[in-house]
Structure 1
């Protein structure tokens, strides 16, 4: 929780009277580079004092209880900060001991955590020989090894290819679903948060733009997405369907979207009630087209911001 939190430097205001109340679960903190995300995390960890305002983490005041907060919180920094000449096991055991775990517990927790993040088979290799994705997993492991109540993950998908990014997002989601640990994850990529988070907080220039559940951002609309395949009698099935639906009195959006390869485009149809589904289905069948999908369309987070 923060209340009127500000952080000012001589020429820059990193946070400007930011008030937030973040609950349990997986929360995404999104904003462009320089929006104030990393500054907020450093203040929440008690590593950087605020210029004004208040902040509390797990009920503890960041201004007076930084040490106690860091005992209960895991932190995955944005930048690479790993020693190249030690193994993942050595490093994570060291971080577990720094968090107060006794030697035996530190080794056991390290093995379990490295298994969870998918590094168990590679745990004795020097970190310097790891790929970017493996290094990110080491950073996640050290944030989890002491079984915190909350983890703060600063741009955890930085430098990853699409497959590595999806794997990391899956790991982050399981941190909460498998272990009950709450997560605050920062990103400048809106689509990542849409798939991963329960709640999304958007800041820009250190100010709060919006804070709400992901489902509120991506709420269902009355728009149907209809995708069809072509037929011998209608080589452009999308165009034929558009014309037939217009004749039937169905309202269509002017914009179309790219469909699957070989399946033309996606028509966006205004749903005026259950009858619209029947009209679309019967029209597709009457034209002899193949119906790839007909579903109620959801906004994507990026579209919400573009439209507003």
Structure 2
């Protein structure tokens, strides 16, 4: 898939990279890692062109591939030490960092076991550890929960979230599983046919325009007052209703309606868009 000139900004925290098959996710990761050159145009990652300054860029990147390529007869500790050495850490520092990182991902007690004897979830933790061992600026994770059972998936997702919050690292997670991205990501980038179709902050004020309201008593009077003032009311029942108020003017109208009816508001909350809605709008939209 050809990528058509765009910029992806990955801020501190977790950014999900989404898109249908063939959208360009794998191509993007390959280019970022310097494993391929763009056929036209320029690519800049962390201030450098990875095609011409690959070692410089990769020294600041951590990468966990989708495919499990771990050597079965090597211990988790030896493998992570080896990866730390590849990234330029001296022997003593590599051993210390590997031990610390394996403990951080929850493999301290199993670090000396051969990788072939570990569970799929433990092997995924090893891949995450080797991506973090050299203290990178940007961490790339390609389908990090592939093949995991529900418990292992929850544990790995919690670790990914901690990389963004506790370690304050920039993390780019490529995945096709929207519910998982919604659990861990601060932002999402959606690719479609080689272009950025959407870039959204999750849980932000990039909202649907819908406002959920809870009142003391019956909501019928407030619903009627909102409708009379030109607002669209949805899902009215008992002490709850949902009103379409996409801007400040509509919110002012909503407040006026509440004052006019003497409604006692218990809760007023903007409704954030569901990731599935954002994704489908981005990938099924026009060219």
TM range, smaller chain = 0.7 to 0.9
Q: Residue 76 of structure 1 contacts residue 154 of structure 1 at CA under 8 Å; is this kept in 2?
A: yes
**Which blocks of at least 5 consecutive residues in structure 1 are unaligned?**
1-13, 229-239, 257-263, 284-290
Helix, strand or coil at the partner of 1:85: coil
Equivalence for 1:183: 171
Higher relative contact order (CA 8 A, sep 6+): 2
* Alpha-carbon distance between aligned partners in 1 of 2:224 and 2:170, rounded to the nearest angstrom: 53
The residue correspondences of 1:1-308 to structure 2 (distance < 5 A) are 14-25=1-12, 26-215=14-203, 219-225=206-212, 268-270=242-244, 272-274=253-255, 295-307=269-281
Q: CA deviation at 1:135?
A: 1.4
Report the RMSD for the aligned CA atoms in angstroms. 3.3
* Alpha-carbon distance between aligned partners in 2 of 1:298 and 1:82, rounded to the nearest angstrom: 40
Helix, strand or coil at the partner of 1:17: coil
**Which blocks of at least 5 consecutive residues in structure 2 are unaligned?**
246-252
Helix, strand or coil at the partner of 2:271: strand
More strand by share: 1
**Cα-to-partner distance string for 1:84-131 (whole Å, 9 max, x where unaligned):** 222211111111112121111111101110111111122122222222
* Alpha-carbon distance between aligned partners in 2 of 1:280 and 1:138, rounded to the nearest angstrom: 60
Q: Residue 222 of structure 2 contacts residue 263 of structure 2 at CA under 8 Å; is this kept in 1?
A: no
TM-score normalised per structure 2:
0.78
* Alpha-carbon distance between aligned partners in 2 of 1:84 and 1:297, rounded to the nearest angstrom: 48
Note closer, same or farther for the CA distance 1:95–1:138 as it changes in structure 2 (3 Å cut). Answer: same
**Cα-to-partner distance string for 1:229-287 (whole Å, 9 max, x where unaligned):** xxxxxxxxxxx97878766766775669xxxxxxx9x864446523667879769xxxx
Q: CA deviation at 1:227?
A: 8.4
Q: CA deviation at 1:27?
A: 2.3
* Alpha-carbon distance between aligned partners in 1 of 2:233 and 2:115, rounded to the nearest angstrom: 53
Q: CA deviation at 1:189?
A: 2.4
Q: CA deviation at 1:196?
A: 2.6
**Cα-to-partner distance string for 1:199-221 (whole Å, 9 max, x where unaligned):** 322112222212343356x6334
